[in-house]
Structure 1
Amino acid sequence: MQLSFLGKSYEASTPAVDAIATGETATFMGRPYARKQFTVAQRPQPADLTYRGIHYAR
């Protein structure tokens, strides 16, 4: 997804989310629903970072 902030364009990455059914049911506001366990893949961090025009590394 292409986004822009303060006139600079960048590519937004969306992490993959896996949902695994747990076999449990819960009730919310009187309605039952199946519970799931969610795992989110870690996003790679950029090697070079910039803050207010100053470049630094982790």
Structure 2
Amino acid sequence: SAEAKLITELDTVNYELFKQAYFAFVDLNKFWDKYEMSKFLKKTYEMEGACLIIESRHGDIYSEV
């Protein structure tokens, strides 16, 4: 029926929007974490409160760690 087809199409659109929002939120969280860490660093090699950020390439086995 036309109603079932419309519901299926809306579900597809809703899923795609949810997926986009999720990945935008993940990216924003990563950016925020880096910003928060950078506030503790006053110079390039500060001794107290220094942070180390390790990033791996997208898709590496440890990219989510």
- TM bucket (normalised to shorter chain) is under 0.3
1 or 2 for the larger relative contact order (CA 8 Å, sep ≥6)?
1
1 or 2, which has the higher helix percentage? 2
Task: Provide TM-score, normalisation by structure 2.
Answer: 0.21
1 or 2, which has the higher strand percentage? 1
